[in-house]
Amino acid sequence: MLAFTLRRLVVALSVALTVSLIAFVLLHLSGDLATSIAGPEASPAQVAQVRQEYGLDRPLTVQYLDWLWRAVHLDFGNSFYFRTTVASIIAERMPVTMTLGAISLMISLVIAVPLGIIAAVFKGTLIDRLALTFCVLGQAIPTFCLGLGLIIVFAVNLRWLPVSGTAGWMNYILPSVALGWYAVPAVMRLSRNGMLEVLSADYIRTARAKGLSPAVVVLKHALRNAIIPVVALAAVQFGFMLGGSIVVEAVFSMHGVGHLAWEAIARNDFPVVQAVVLILAAIYITLTFVADVINALLDPRMRVA
Amino acid sequence: MTDIAPSAADAAALDTPPPRRSPGLALLRRSLRHGGLLVGGGILFIIVAMALAAPLIAPHDPYAQDLSRRMIPPVWQVKGNWDYILGTDKLGRDYLSRLLYGARISLLIGTVTVLISGTIGTLMGVCAGYFGGKVDAVLSYIVTTRLALPVVLVALASAALVGSSLHGVIIVLGLLLWDRFAVVTRSATQQVAGGDYIAAAKAIGCSTPRLILSEILPNILNPLIVVATLEMAHAILLEAALSFLGLGVQPPLPSWGLMIAEGKQYMFFSPWVIAIPAVALVFLVLAINLLGDGLRDVTAPENRN
């Protein structure tokens, strides 16, 4: 188990390192940094001075290592647009995205896991077919279309919920449904397949033969084992949701990091873009690492890979 | 001289060989019995036909502006008229014509993206699966790194860097969406590589490139086509999201995502401006997904559950 964890940790760290290299390249591809920092009105002499002050005249490898050292300490430099540190802007916006992601994950799990279990228990019946059809339909609806549709129905026509913003908890309902919807088909398919596999196992037959009620067999005996793969997928989906929240935040004008990154790209404010890419990737890498370890703890068969 | 004279009917039965089930025919029979595949294929065929015939069937020029005919509602609404069946947009352009030409953009982006990403991913997957060992470790590492990158954000940032345009979107998506191709071809190649015919081809001195091209690729074609179909839907959805966020296909091109973005400001009073392109998008993606799922069912019936 320790060897497995260490191996996974090495992979996770080297992936993080590669991602940091990509983020660094992204920043340097966005144009001459000295000109961007000095501003559009700066004279060539001022640009040269900035270049020297910020160490932009050093070899790229030295710059990368220096930048990486700072990034590990959560120092991502200054934004070209806001004139404050990137870290402080992101710290301000992060809670919105995190809340949105967490509620979305909860919504998708609450819809998808029971649906998957019911579909598996009633395999091959009309209920199963309806659940699978729901999945195929769900996959075809783009997040931003669903978001706009929810606004038209629940915010404009019914006036139950606010159109946009982040003022209160009511503001999070529609965006979370739109974002969580995206993960429902995958989670549902996985819980259905996991359940089907478990339900055909010998110990379930034994439990049934003992005369336990079907509900106890499914919810107590089968669910525990069927849910293991869902844990890993839920972690991965949470990572995807943080990355995908950019679309939902744009639709609902929520000022999270997705919205921040979107605006930053339009303003060519690449220090911010780079930091958001790096942070989201780091969260994803951490989540998948933790999910792998938890999976291996729950199911020793996973420890080989 | 036989005691039992064969009757004419028996002789005829002996002459006709037992019904031979050619694999192609069996596949066709399974396809024709698969509801989802037929529905998906049918809708997709209609959309492709309408996209190809757009110059012939579009009632108006999709770019012709007429500010005196702005925001005419579709024909089923009170103020609609038969000259503009789906109404007009904020610049007085015919919505039906734009929708028809927009289908060309979605299909073009889907097809070319999948050609690029499919080539990259298949090459990586086949090499990883065939050579195994260190090659496999390195390529799996690259796939893991790619999965850690938030795809919408990186696509947006790269699109901004290479310049937001039709070509830019295709290049960015093509270079980003190869991960599923790599994963699927890798495991498919691993399954095929142990076959006797591969050993036989090696024994008669087949070169490695030839072995891959003429022995392995044809045998992993089925899963590859399925992934290509599903990834095409993925690419179309991402293009719509990028264009919706303003960093994909640029005006005046009638991309469906862009049409939704342009209609967003009118959605409170004229929801049809976003509903029409949204429904078109959902139908296209649904059709492609149904076709892909159906193809998986009929080409690998043993994997069905």
Q: Where are the domains positioned within chain A?
A: 2-72, 92-304
User: Lowest-confidence range among B15-24, B103-112, B190-199?
Assistant: B15-24
Phi, psi of B236 (to 5 degrees): -65, -40
Residue B305: what pLDDT? 42
* Percent of chain B residues topping a pLDDT of 90: 47
Residue B304: what pLDDT? 47
Q: Counting one residue from A and one from B, how many pairs have CB atoms under 8 Å apart?
A: 120
* Residue A8: closest CA among A287, A235, A279, A233: A287
Residue of B nearest to A283 (CA): B148
The partner residue sitting opposite A243, judged by closest CB among B150, B244, B293, is B150
* Mean pLDDT on A153-169: 82
Residue B266: CB atoms within 10 A of its CB come to: 16
Task: Say whether A145 and B282 touch across the interface (CB within 8 A).
Answer: yes
pLDDT in tens, A82-98: 888 889 999 999 999 99
Residue B286: what pLDDT? 94
Residue B22: what pLDDT? 74
The fold for domain A92-304 equals: MetI-like fold (1.10.3720)
Range list of H helices, chain B: 8-15, 23-32, 35-52, 54-57, 95-131, 133-148, 151-162, 166-176, 179-193, 196-203, 208-211, 217-219, 221-244, 256-263, 272-299
Residue B1: what pLDDT? 42
Q: CA-to-CA distance for B39 and B288, rounded, in angstroms?
A: 10
Residue of B nearest to A123 (CA): B305
- Closest CA of chain A from B230, distance in Å: 11
Task: Say whether A247 and B153 touch across the interface (CB within 8 A).
Answer: no
The partner residue sitting opposite A277, judged by closest CB among B150, B264, B281, is B150
Q: What is the mean pLDDT of chain A?
A: 86
More confident site: A56 or B233: B233
* Mean pLDDT on A183-204: 86
Q: Which amino acid is at B151?
A: V
Residue A11 Cα distances to A33, A73, A74, A289, angstroms: 32, 21, 22, 9
More confident site: A202 or A176: A176
Residue B23: what pLDDT? 74
- Asked if A298 and A24 touch (Cβ cutoff 8 Å), the reply is no
Residue A12: what pLDDT? 92
Cα-Cα-Cα-Cα torsion A125, A127, A131, A136, nearest 10 degrees, comes to 50
pLDDT in tens, A238-289: 988 898 899 999 999 899 999 999 999 888 888 899 899 999 999 999 998 9
* Percent of chain A residues topping a pLDDT of 90: 28
Task: Say whether B245 and A262 touch across the interface (CB within 8 A).
Answer: yes
Task: Say whether A247 and B241 touch across the interface (CB within 8 A).
Answer: yes
Residue A148: what pLDDT? 92
More confident site: A157 or B4: A157
Task: Say whether A142 and B241 touch across the interface (CB within 8 A).
Answer: yes
Say whether pLDDT at B115 is over 90.
Answer: yes
* Mean pLDDT on A45-55: 83
Which residues lie across from B94 on neighbouring strands? B88
Say whether pLDDT at B198 is over 50.
Answer: yes
Residue A94: what pLDDT? 92
Q: B274 CB near a chain A CB, below 8 Å? A: yes
Which residues lie across from B38 on neighbouring strands? none
Residue B15: what pLDDT? 57
Query: Using a CB-CB distance cutoff of 8 angstroms, which residues of chain A are in contact with residue B157?
Result: 26, 261, 265, 270, 273, 277
Q: How many residues does chain A have?
A: 305
Residue B268: what pLDDT? 84
Residue A18: what pLDDT? 93
Task: Say whether B36 and A26 touch across the interface (CB within 8 A).
Answer: no
pTM: 0.88
Q: What is the mean pLDDT of chain B?
A: 87
